[in-house]
């Protein structure tokens, strides 16, 4: 009875211990199973190498324009015509009708000489002509009556011709007593005063024709045939004024020392603002070419040593284009060798190479 009573409590303790062990073991397993609810990490997705390495650039669509292919030269202006003012007859100056620096129209009087003696001589010469006419008529009447010979007729006729020649000479001198401007121009020099006595042919000043004005230059023999009469020339003067002229003369004989040809062009000068003997920068327009203009900083040298520029195709892939610079100006160059419309890389061209696909941001 005592042993049986002791077995009961021992069995109870053993069962209780087994139950606790099972709960601990099972609880931990359940806890572990319930706590492991986080989904397994996803496998990394492989990135597209082109997307990961895209370089950013700025680009601009530019269109070809016609640009003049020019021959730059230096020249100088000169008067289209120059006249030394000289009176054709001598005598006393009665009027000076112009002043130094004045614009004189063609046909205007410059000065007048004293013509009183000439006018008196003309009156006498006209009377003599009338007398000679009467004498010739009288001799002819005598000849018709066989009272005179044909020799006398010839003598009278010669006397009449002489009288008429004298009259004509005096009338021409009267016309020349007034000095007339043969063309419109500027009285550049004048040294004469009223009351001054001049001899025939005395130099009293100069008259310059400056509208249009002539510009002279020398072209290299390598451009013979490219510059001809009518060729357009863009002209810039030292005072900053611009003008357009056209070639009016090309020499047929080259300078043996410089191997150049002299050319002249005429430039409108309506306001007479362009003086003679000043320097002019000339651009002879030889032809016109379709070309693109952009900053010279965008030019590069390709692997073959040629001038090139980087552009983008429709897939934003970098293309290196060979170009030829045909004209350079202060802030841009003109090049040929590109399609009419092209996407030009303006920023970042130094960080990409031909064939790269880039992320392009286009400028307006």
The DSSP secondary structure of 219-256, one letter per residue, reads EEGGGBTTB-TT-EEEEEETTS-EEEEEEEEE-SS--T
Residue 235 belongs to some domain of the structure: yes
Q: Report which of 100, 98, 123, 120 is spatially closest to residue 109, judged by C-alpha positions.
A: 98
Residue 81 belongs to some domain of the structure: no
Q: What distance, in Å, lies between the first and last C-alpha atoms of the chain?
A: 110
Q: What's residue 25's pLDDT?
A: 47
Least confident of 45-54, 172-181, 260-269: 45-54
Q: Looking at the structure, do residues 214 and 270 belong to the same domain, yes or no?
A: yes
Q: Looking at the structure, do residues 91 and 190 belong to the same domain, yes or no?
A: yes
CATH number of domain containing 104? 2.40.50.100
Q: What's residue 343's pLDDT?
A: 95
Tokens representing 216 are 């002279």
Residues 322, 299: Cα–Cα separation, whole Å? 10
Q: Report which of 351, 301, 328, 345 is spatially closest to residue 72, judged by C-alpha positions.
A: 328
For residue 260, give the H/E element and its range: strand 260-267
Q: Looking at the structure, do residues 237 and 272 belong to the same domain, yes or no?
A: yes
Q: Is 238 left (phi over 0), alpha (psi -120 to 50) or beta?
A: alpha
Which of 6-10, 21-25, 123-127, 256-260 has the highest mean predicted lDDT (pLDDT)? 123-127
Q: What's residue 357's pLDDT?
A: 94
Three-state secondary structure call for residue 334: strand
Least confident of 3-12, 58-67, 283-292, 297-306: 3-12
DSSP-derived secondary structure for 29-90: HHHHHHH--SPPPPPPPPPPHHHHTPEEEEEEEEE-EEEEEEEEEEEEEE-SEEEEE--SS-
CATH number of domain containing 124? 1.10.287
What band does 4 get if pLDDT is binned at 50, 70 and 90?
Answer: very low
CA distance readout (Å), 28 to 20, 37, 40? 12, 15, 21
Q: Looking at the structure, do residues 240 and 346 belong to the same domain, yes or no?
A: no
Q: Looking at the structure, do residues 197 and 215 belong to the same domain, yes or no?
A: no
Q: Looking at the structure, do residues 218 and 282 belong to the same domain, yes or no?
A: yes
Q: Looking at the structure, do residues 213 and 283 belong to the same domain, yes or no?
A: yes
Residues 41, 285: Cα–Cα separation, whole Å? 74
Q: Give yes or no for residue 347 having a pLDDT over 50.
A: yes
Q: Give yes or no for residue 33 having a pLDDT over 50.
A: no
Q: Looking at the structure, do residues 281 and 323 belong to the same domain, yes or no?
A: no
Instruction: Check: CB of residue 64 under 8 Å from CB of residue 166.
Output: no
Q: Looking at the structure, do residues 185 and 100 belong to the same domain, yes or no?
A: yes
Instruction: Check: CB of residue 54 under 8 Å from CB of residue 316.
Output: no
Domain span including residue 278: 209-287
Q: In this predicted model, which residue has the larger pLDDT, 271 or 26?
A: 271
Residues 229, 263: Cα–Cα separation, whole Å? 9
Q: Give yes or no for residue 31 having a pLDDT over 80.
A: no
Q: Looking at the structure, do residues 241 and 229 belong to the same domain, yes or no?
A: yes
Q: What's residue 39's pLDDT?
A: 55
Q: Give yes or no for residue 37 having a pLDDT over 60.
A: no
Q: Give yes or no for residue 248 having a pLDDT over 60.
A: yes
CATH number of domain containing 274? 2.40.30.170
Residues 293, 306: Cα–Cα separation, whole Å? 18
Residue 45 belongs to some domain of the structure: no
Task: Give the β-pairing of 358-362 and 55-63.
Answer: parallel
Q: Give yes or no for residue 269 having a pLDDT over 70.
A: yes
Q: Looking at the structure, do residues 194 and 154 belong to the same domain, yes or no?
A: no
Q: Looking at the structure, do residues 283 and 213 belong to the same domain, yes or no?
A: yes
Mean pLDDT, residues 59-85: 93
Residues 182, 102: Cα–Cα separation, whole Å? 15
Residue 29 belongs to some domain of the structure: no
- Number of Cβ within 10 Å of residue 59's Cβ equals 22
Number of domains in the chain: 4
Mean pLDDT, residues 260-282: 94
């Amino acid at each position: 009875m005592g042993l049986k009573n002791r077995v009961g409590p021992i069995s109870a303790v053993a069962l209780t211990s087994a139950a606790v062990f099972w709960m601990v073991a099972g609880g931990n397993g359940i806890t572990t199973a319930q706590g492991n609810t986080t989904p397994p990490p996803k496998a990394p997705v492989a990135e597209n190498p082109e997307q990961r390495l895209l370089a950013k650039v700025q680009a601009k669509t530019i269109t070809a324009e016609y640009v003049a292919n020019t021959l730059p030269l230096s020249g100088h202006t000169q008067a289209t015509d120059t006249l030394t003012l000289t009176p054709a007859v001598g005598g006393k100056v009665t009027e000076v009708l112009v002043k130094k620096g004045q614009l004189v129209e063609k046909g205007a009087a410059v000065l007048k000489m004293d013509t009183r003696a000439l006018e008196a001589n003309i009156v006498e010469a006209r009377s003599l002509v009338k007398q000679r006419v009467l004498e010739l008529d009288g001799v002819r009447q005598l000849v018709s009556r066989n009272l005179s010979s044909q020799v006398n007729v010839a003598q009278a006729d010669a006397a009449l011709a002489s009288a008429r020649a004298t009259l004509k000479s005096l009338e021409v001198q009267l016309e020349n007593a007034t000095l007339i401007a043969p063309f419109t121009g500027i009285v550049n020099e004048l040294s004469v005063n009223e009351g001054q006595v001049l001899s025939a042919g005395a130099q009293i000043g100069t008259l310059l024709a400056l509208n249009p004005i002539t510009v002279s230059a020398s072209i290299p023999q390598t451009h013979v045939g490219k510059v001809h009469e009518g060729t357009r020339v863009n002209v810039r003067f030292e005072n900053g004024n611009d003008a357009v002229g056209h070639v009016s003369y090309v020499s047929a004989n080259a300078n043996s020392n410089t191997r150049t040809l002299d050319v002249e062009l005429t430039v409108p000068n309506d306001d007479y603002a362009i003086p003679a003997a000043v320097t002019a920068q000339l651009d002879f327009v030889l032809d016109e070419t379709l070309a693109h203009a952009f900053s010279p900083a965008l030019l590069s040298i390709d692997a073959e040593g040629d001038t090139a520029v980087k552009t983008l195709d429709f897939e934003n892939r970098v293309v290196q284009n060979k170009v030829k610079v045909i004209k350079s100006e202060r802030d841009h160059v003109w090049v040929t060798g590109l399609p009419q419309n092209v996407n030009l890389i303006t920023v970042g061209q130094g960080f990409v190479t031909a064939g790269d696909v880039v992320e392009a941001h286009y400028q307006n």
